[in-house]
Amino acid sequence: MVLGTSSGAGKSLMTAALCRVLRRRGEQPLPFKGQNMSLNAWVDQQGGEMAYSQALQAWAAGLEPRVAMNPVLLKPRGDSTSEVIHLGRSVGTARAEHYYRDWFRPGWAAIRTGLEELQASHPGGRLVLEGAGSPVEVNLQARDLTNLRLAQFLRARCLLVADIERGGVFAQIVGTLALLRPVERPLIGGLLINRFRGRRSLFDEGRRWLERETGLPVLGVMPWLDELFPPEDSLDLLERASRKPCSELNIAVLRLPSLSNFSDLDPLEAETSVQLQWRRPGEPLGQPDAVILPGSKQTLRDLQALRSSGMATELQAYVARGGQLFALCGGLQMLGQELHDPDGLEGERAGERVAGLGLLPLRTVFEGTKALRQRRSRALWPPGPGEPPLIEGFELHQGRSEQTDQTPCAPLAEDRQLGWWAASGTQGGLVAGTYLHGIFENGPWRRRWLNQLRQRCDLPPLGENQPHHGRQRDALLDRLADAFEAHIDLAPLLTGGDCPEPPPS
């Protein structure tokens, strides 16, 4: 089990690295995180919802992602409540102060079921567990679902990860160990120092001190990697300050208050010719070559944030001046003429009707049943040479959008419900949007979309014969695993003695 001294210590990527390393050694790693809180989601082949970080770990392990790897997913709604998802299906909404009272037993049952399903499907596999946040939040320890309770239950050997980049690494480690209960302390098999900058020899004295004071081996010091890995939550986007000296296109991405599925933008981040510029509502939009309006967990609230900040007016003016605007999922819904919430699923009042940005002739009605499914279709837009590219991804949204009787817009794909586009005004503006998460992962389509921007900027076209982004992501996971194997000694963790007996289940 990979534990962290805090949120953001690097547990998710260290778990992914461990999965890839074990796979290289001939084992079948089984990634598992009992409970995750994230707005970055994935939909598996059976139409179940899970955290994207566990999907990434599944790819690292050479497996198809499945909801059993993340049986409890909490999706924050921004008002001290979260949507609760068990084994891929939404089962209700929980307030923070009542969560452990109302959801502990059902959550533990979902975790047990996920474990049983995962182990039954791969009977020779080795579970690789990821913890959540800090394992020693003393006010929550008695009702812990996904850290040391799970480690004790499975008798897992635990690796404690600390992020030296944030400072205070010695206090992080010693304080965490000091707050462990006596029955939990023997579970910790080693320490890992993450995100170290500079020469590792500079930490030799610190390493010796930690081993002397804690009695635990420091299994390694992971260097700072100059790679852009997928962030686990939107807070990590603040640390994305990449600057590309060879970039030719500047694309503004709106950082909505309830931003979701931001991993949709990773393939664009990986394009050396593209510089993404994150803009909060209220910040100047500038004159980017395109604007992306991403997904949202709270579409009506984020639409209101665009209005109250003046960003809605700025977007409308940007398109009127000839700008290009592309929207994803909840962003697509905001582009329409009207959003209707008959059951109060998105807003504060049932029956609420809200005017959209008026940039596409669409009307959206929010419905209780989510659209959760993987999709594949042939693109009809943007136009380009040769055969139209295939696009694949997944739908994850509440709400059904249909064209109104106003000026028609054209479908983005042969599957006419996946998205729409329309020219806007007399200055060459263009507005488009899709419900298909992962659309930019499709290399030929992504390059065709970039090329129509490049043509407007008098730039030469890029080659469209590009593989799926999954291949680039896999190479990134290999580089992560290379660094992990070069700097981390797993032998004490993989060959250690038995852990303490588990508590009653």
Q: What is the 3-state secondary structure (H, E, C) of 216-271?
A: CCEEEEEECCCCCCCCCCHHHHHHCCCCCCCCCEEEEEECCCCEECHHHHHHHHCC
Contact present, 268 and 230 (Cβ < 8 Å): no
Q: What is the model's pLDDT at position 79? A: 80
Q: Which residues pair with 192 in a beta bridge?
A: 161, 220
Residues 170-189 as b/e (b if ≥16 CB within 10 A, e otherwise) read: eebbeebbeebeeebbebbb
CATH 3.50.50.60 correct for 249-456: no
d(CA 79, CA 81): 5
Q: Contact 451/345 with Cβ under 8 angstroms?
A: no
d(CA 96, CA 414): 43
pLDDT of residue 71: 98
Any alpha helices (H) in 370-459, and if so which ranges?
443-456
- The answer to whether 1 touches 131, Cβ cutoff 8 Å, is yes
Residue 258: closest CA among 47, 9, 435, 39? 39
Position 290, amino acid? A
Which residue is catalytic, options 86, 397, 437, 469?
437
CA 183 to chain centre: 34
Residue 332 parent element (H or E): helix 330-335
Under 8 Å between Cβ of 71 and 86 = yes
* The pairing of beta strand 158-163 with beta strand 188-196: parallel
Which pLDDT score is estimated for 426?
78
Distance (Å, whole) CA 191 – CA 418: 47
Assess whether 329 carries a catalytic annotation.
Answer: yes
Residue 157: phi and psi, rounded to 5, are -85, 130
| pLDDT at residue number 349 | 75
Residues of the chain with pLDDT under 70: 227-243, 347-348, 496-505
Determine the Cα–Cα distance for residues 75 and 79; give it in Å rounded to an integer.
11
- Position 350 scores a pLDDT of 79
Res 234: pLDDT: 47
| 3-state SS, residue 165 | helix
Closest CA to 269 of 233, 234, 228: 228
> Which ranges of 85-193 does DSSP label H, i.e. alpha helix?
99-121, 148-154, 169-179
Domain 2-229+473-494, what architecture?
Answer: 3-Layer(aba) Sandwich (3.40)
pLDDT confidence of residue 405: 78
The pLDDT value recorded for residue 233 is 55
Q: How far is C-alpha 260 from the geometric centre of its chain's CA atoms?
A: 8
Residue 436 tokens read as 């298909």
Residue 246, helix vs strand vs coil:
coil
- The tokens for 249 are 């296109």
Q: What is the pLDDT of residues 446-501, one digit of tens each?
A: 999 999 999 999 999 999 999 999 999 999 999 999 999 999 999 988 886 555 55
Write down the pLDDT at residue 238. Answer: 44
SS3 letters for 124-157? Answer: CCEEEEECCCCCCCCCCHHHCCCCHHHHHHHCCC
Dihedral of alpha carbons 392, 37, 220, 119, sign: negative
Token digits of residue 334 = 């905001």
The three-state secondary structure class of 402 is strand
Kindly name the residue from 19, 158, 329, 499 that is annotated as catalytic: 329
Residue 469 a catalytic site member: no
- How many other β-carbons are positioned within 10 Å of the β-carbon of residue 255? 16
Decide: helix, strand or coil at residue 229: coil
Closest to 58 measured CA to CA, from 122, 139, 9, 141: 122
Domain-wise residue ranges, the chain: 2-229+473-494, 249-456
